[in-house]
Amino acid sequence: MIRAWMIASGSTFEPPTVHEFFPPAALFADSAFRMTRINLIGLFMTLVVIVFFSLAFRKPQFVPRGLQNAGEVALNFVKNNVVTEVLGDKGEPYTAYLTTLFFMVLAFNITGFVPGLQIAGTSVIAIPMLLALVSWVVFNVSGIRHHGLGHYLKENLFPAGVPKPIYLLVTPIEFISTFLLRPVTLTVRLLANMMSGHLLLVLFFSATSYLLFDAAGFLKIFGLASYAMGFAFTLFEVLVAFLQAYIFALLTAVYIDGATSAH
């Protein structure tokens, strides 16, 4: 029925596809440094983070004002809600990594709804995967440093208090969940959130455009509904961008805590 209307209206609606995430090269095409719009957005946001914190902490005052206030609130959020909350006093050496992780993911996420950029830097798998792998290395290295390699593997693969035959079942599960699935879930959780968010926004706004300008008659009303949904999901994406950055940093902290605490 709707298909008939669409065909009748002359132009066809094209829903967004994964091609959204594979834009053409913008710079250095045909080289290893082939740069797309998404890479440019990533570098731009890196610069934004640097400029923001440089201005905030350029001349730190005893009583913070303006940008310094915002910068301190941002840093304290990670320090209190991720580092201290999960790791307590032993969190100090991981503060730099967890802070970098949080602000990089956040900065790359929020471009998903920034007008003119409109795609998250984290919506290509390379970025979540890269960070998940770094997190994997960090929590394993901190665990090995804390327990020694043998003891660390024993803690994780042969948990105490389990009858010996059950290890046949438990050990492979623990191996897969701790050493294989953790980086995979970190990667996929962030990637899927950012991709689906982008697809939803494109879908709603392109549908709005199509319904309002190309569809016939009463279908224009659905254009307004589609616009409202797009607006609502834009707000939702703001939440998701923040939440996913927080979850990524928080889970990394939890993994580090699990690796470095004795059971």
Partner 1 sequence: MVLSTLVIAAEQQPSILLPAVADLIWGTLSFLILLFFFSKFVLPQARKLAAERAEKIEGGFRRAEASQAEAKELLHQYQLALAEARTEAANIRNAAQAERSQIVAEARDEAVAAATEIAQRAHAQIAAEQAQVVVGLQREVGKLAVELAGKIVGEVLSDDARARATVDRFIADLEQVAAEAGR
Residues in contact with partner 1 by CB under 8 A are 17-19, 21-22, 28, 32-36, 38-39, 42-43, 45-46, 49-50, 53-54, 57, 60, 62, 71-72, 75, 95-97, 99-100, 103-104, 124-127, 129-131, 134, 191, 195
Please, which residue, 57 or 246, has the CB nearer to partner 1?
A: 57
| First and final C-alpha spacing in the chain | 62
Please, which residue, 41 or 250, has the CB nearer to partner 1?
A: 41
Q: Which two tokens stand for residue 8?
A: 């009748």
Dist CA 239 CA 113 (whole Å): 11
Tell me how far, at minimum, the Cβ of 165 lies from partner 1, in Å. Answer: 37
Please, which residue, 131 or 250, has the CB nearer to partner 1?
A: 131
H helices of the chain, where? 2-9, 37-56, 66-78, 95-110, 126-147, 149-157, 167-175, 182-213, 219-260
Tell me how far, at minimum, the Cβ of 25 lies from partner 1, in Å. Answer: 9
Q: What is the 3-state secondary structure (H, E, C) of 171-223?
A: HHHHHHHHHHHHHHHHHHHHHHHHHHHHHHHHHHHHHHHHHHHCCCCCHHHHH
Tell me how far, at minimum, the Cβ of 160 lies from partner 1, in Å. Answer: 36
Please, which residue, 57 or 242, has the CB nearer to partner 1?
A: 57
Tell me how far, at minimum, the Cβ of 62 lies from partner 1, in Å. Answer: 7
Please, which residue, 1 or 63, has the CB nearer to partner 1?
A: 63
**C-alpha angle with apex 223: 201 to 114, nearest 5 degrees?**
30
Tell me how far, at minimum, the Cβ of 92 lies from partner 1, in Å. Answer: 9
